[in-house]
Amino acid sequence: MKQVDGEKLLASLGEGVNQLRGRLTPDASMERVTWFQAGGLAELMFQPHDVDDLVTFLKLLPAEVPLTVVGVGSNLLVRDGGIPGVVVRLSAKGFGQVELIGENRIRAGAICPDKHIAAMAMDNGIGGFAFYYGIPGSIGGALRMNAGANGGETSQRVIEVHAVDRHGNVHVLSKEEMGYSYRHTNASKDLIFTHAVFEGYPEERAKIRAEMDAVRQHRETVQPIKEKTGGSTFKNPDGHSAWKLIDDAGCRGLMNGGAQMSSLHCNFMINIGHATGYDLEYLGEMVRQRVFEHAGIKLEWEIKRLGIFMPGREVKPFQGATSE
C-alpha cells in the first residue's frame, strides 16, 4: 500500500508551480536514486533548473510540507514507506559545473561529482583534492557529511558555501560557520547547499596523479565498490575502528533478508539481491546490538536514514538482540 500521495501534494501547490522551469515528479522512485537501489517513493521530487528556480519553489512551498534534499544517494537508506513531502534533487545542468576561479581556487556546483573536482585540480596542478577521487558522492553530500578519505576531508579545502534556506533566502557561509567535525557540520539542517568555493595549493601533476592512482587501487582492494552499497554504515567511535568492532562481534557477512554486512569490508552494508529498506535498517540495528553486547560501544549511523516505515515493519534502535 502506498504511504505517500504525490499527485495530491502537487495539486495542493496550486497554479504557482506553472512558473517553475525545473521538473516536478509525483511518487518518484528513490530506488533509482540511491546506491542501495532500495526504499520507497519520494512523495514529490523537484529538480530545480537553477538557483532562482529553487528560490521560487521554496517561496511557494507551504511551511508545513516536509522538505528533504538528496545528492546522488551514495550515503542514503530510504525507508519503504517513502519520503513524505518534497525531495529536492539538484539538476546537473544548473548545479553540476566545476570551474577554476583563481590561483588554486575551484568553484563547484553542489551536484558536481567529487571526482570532477579531483580531476580539475589535477589538470591545473592544485594539490589537496586527490582524496575526492575515491568518494562517489556529490559536492552537496560532501559539504553535509564532511566527506573525507585518505587523510583529507572537505573541511580542509572549503572556503565558502552558498546555500538556500527553507524560506528561499540565500546565505553564504564561511568555513567557520559550517562548524565542521568528523562527518558532521553544525550548519542548519534546513539549508540546501547550491555551490561552494574550495582552495588547494600548488602541487606537481605527476604527484597528484600518483596519489589518485593510489586512492583508486586501495579502494578496489578493500571496498565492495561494485556492489549496491551506502559506503561506511557506522562512524568510527573515538579511538576505535567501526569495522574492527563489527568483525570482533562476529558480524562480518551477517545477513538479514537481501541485506548483508560485506565480507570484504564489514562496515559496508550491501544489497545482495532485492533488499528492502527494512532488511537493511534491521541488519544495521542487529549489528549495533551485537557490537554493544560484545564491546559495550554504541555505534552511531553514518548513513543517513530517510522517510517512514511501512506499517508493521518498523525498526527499533538496537533491534535484533542475539537473545531475541
Name the residues annotated as catalytic.
183, 232, 302
Q: How far apart are CA 179 and CA 133, in angstroms?
A: 24
Helix (H) or strand (E) holding 60: helix 51-60
Tell how far CA 164 is from the center of its chain: 18
Among 57, 193, 198, 278, binds ligand FAD (CB under 6 A): 193
135 binds ligand FAD (CB under 6 A): yes
- Residue whose grid cell is 576561479: 101
148, 236 Cβ separation under 8 angstroms: no
Is the Cβ of residue 149 or residue 251 nearer to ligand FAD in the bound state? 149
Binders of ligand FAD among residues 54 to 113 (CB under 6 A) are 69-76, 90, 110
CB of 107 to ligand FAD, least distance (A): 15
CB of 89 to ligand FAD, least distance (A): 8
Is the Cβ of residue 225 or residue 295 nearer to ligand FAD in the bound state? 225
Secondary structure (DSSP) of 82-127: -EEEEEEE--HHHH--EEEEETTEEEEETTSBHHHHHHHHHHTTEE
| Residue of 196, 190, 185 whose CA lies nearest to 161 | 196
CB of 323 to ligand FAD, least distance (A): 33
Query: Among all residues, whose Cβ is closest to ligand FAD?
Result: 141
Q: Which range in 7-15, 50-58, 223-231, 280-288 contacts ligand FAD by CB under 6 A?
A: 223-231
Helix (H) or strand (E) holding 221: helix 205-222
Is the Cβ of residue 10 or residue 117 nearer to ligand FAD in the bound state? 117
70 backbone dihedrals φ, ψ, rounded to 5° = -125, 155
- Residue whose grid cell is 567535525: 181
Q: Which range in 41-49, 55-63, 140-148, 257-265 contacts ligand FAD by CB under 6 A?
A: 140-148
192 binds ligand FAD (CB under 6 A): yes
Per-residue b or e along 192-202, where b marks 16 or more CB atoms closer than 10 Å to that residue's CB: bbbbbbbbbee
CB of 233 to ligand FAD, least distance (A): 10
Binders of ligand FAD among residues 268 to 307 (CB under 6 A) are 304
Cell of 17: 508551480
CB of 174 to ligand FAD, least distance (A): 17
Among 115, 116, 144, 265, binds ligand FAD (CB under 6 A): 144
97 backbone dihedrals φ, ψ, rounded to 5° = -80, 150
Among 17, 67, 225, 255, binds ligand FAD (CB under 6 A): 225
Contact residues for ligand FAD, defined by CB under 6 A: 35, 69-76, 90, 110, 134-138, 140-142, 144-145, 147-149, 192-193, 223, 225, 229-231, 304
